Amino acid sequence: MRNAAAAAARRAAPPPLLPPVRLSRSPCYPHQVFLPLQPYPGHRPPALLTAYTNAGLPAAASRLFDEMPARDAVAWNARPGTAAYAFRGMATARFAPTAATLCTMALRPGCCVENSRSFMDAFLILGRIELNGIALTCALTACSATANLMYSMLVQCKAVRHGSTSQTILCNALIDMYAKCGRTMAARIVFDQMACRNVVSWSSMIDAYSCHGHGEAALGLFKRMEKVAPVVLPNEVTFLAVLSACGQSGLVDEGGAMLHLMKRQYGINPGPEHYACFIDLLGRAGQNDEAWYLYCSSITTRSELSGSICVAMLNACKANMDVLRGNKVALHLLEVDPENPGSHVLISNFHAVARQWSESDEPRRIILDKGSLGVQLIDFNSWY
């Protein structure tokens, strides 16, 4: 009697507290954390699925999912594999998708690419889901990643009917989506109709103009942004978008003024990306001497040389046929980023333009010796 009561008490007791384990992406980490749960048969928390997936063990996560005696909507949302498979599985198991399902499906890699029909099926049932701005923003992010304008406009219509268009985060996603789809006028309409704009809103709209070569419009919007200060102040991303816009339109004087303005008035120290953008601007304008002076000054003022600065300077040397300086920059680039195949290709192209054929073959030989990234032909012809 006493043993039976003790056994019943152990079964009714909650699981013991997990031992403190240092967070890690090691494959052993999920085993270390959930090993104390093994005495409780049938206990398969959905968090364990996520832990196995993040640790790089999708096969173990799939096997664990198949062994679960009962699967709820949380387990299906955490199910490893393609988003289309998980969505069809929920439909088969008669689980109603939720807003979390849409977010999970939208943020999985290649959701719109892998099966656009499955995403359309998910969209058609949005009328039965209690939506929020976060779920709609996730859907817009997934569509804008592939520049899918049709699905993006459908999601926007759903947001209008839901009354979520006043949310700043959703409007920022709309601006980014229309910019990636090449609709800068539509992005500007969304921007002008926003009730509350933050620094992301201003930066996204300026970057939209920059990506499509509207440098004057980007500068005009930045000057308008300065008038609303100190309510909204530009940050590093804002100035990078403005410098990129100047580079696309050849506005050398305006770009130099922005580089000084960000440090003098706003106290923002230019980073490697800002210097690289302005060096690229000077190179496009044919002012290679000024670009070289800025390149050398960035080397002396920074403890580490940035690969982006070297790439910009090497492109400037290639455009202006400055072989002597280009050879020096190529050596710097190999020291900074020797494992990047793009650096070797750029160096090879520079030597080819300079008709240095022996130096041009060497970087390509290094790439061939390393093999293609992620794909390689093996001996028994099993590569397709």
pLDDT tens-place values along the chain, 384 residues long: 445 555 444 444 444 433 333 434 444 444 545 544 444 444 456 666 666 666 666 667 667 666 666 655 555 555 544 444 444 454 454 455 555 555 555 555 444 444 455 555 555 555 555 567 777 787 777 777 777 788 788 888 888 887 778 889 999 999 999 999 999 999 999 999 998 999 999 999 999 999 999 999 999 999 999 999 888 999 999 999 999 999 988 899 999 999 999 999 999 999 999 999 999 999 999 999 999 999 998 877 665 678 899 999 999 999 999 999 999 999 999 888 888 888 888 999 999 988 888 888 888 777 777 665 544 444 433 333
**What are the structural domains, with CATH classification, of the chain?**
46-60+68-157 (no CATH), 271-371 (1.25.40)
Q: Which two tokens stand for residue 34?
A: 């959930």
Report the pLDDT value the prediction gives residue 363, as an integer from 0 to 100.
81
Note whether 150 and 182 are within 8 A (CB).
no
Compute the chain's Rg from CA coordinates: 27
- What residues have CB less than 8 Å from 186, skipping those under 6 apart? 178
Q: What is the DSSP string of 72-140?
A: -HHHHHT--S-HHHHHHHHHHTTPPP-HHHHHHHHHSTTHHHH-HHHHHHHHHTGGGS---HHHHHHHH
Report the pLDDT value the prediction gives residue 279, as an integer from 0 to 100.
95
Nearest CA among 192, 277, 206, 257 for reference residue 235: 206
Give the pTM: 0.69
Report the pLDDT value the prediction gives residue 248, as an integer from 0 to 100.
87
Max distance between CA atoms of the chain, in angstroms, equals: 93
Number of H helices, E strands in the chain: 23, 0
Nearest CA among 138, 78, 142 for reference residue 109: 142
Report the pLDDT value the prediction gives residue 52, as an integer from 0 to 100.
65
Q: How far apart are CA 176 and CA 309, in angstroms?
A: 27
Q: How far is CA 331 from CA 43, 311, 359, 372, in A?
A: 58, 11, 12, 23
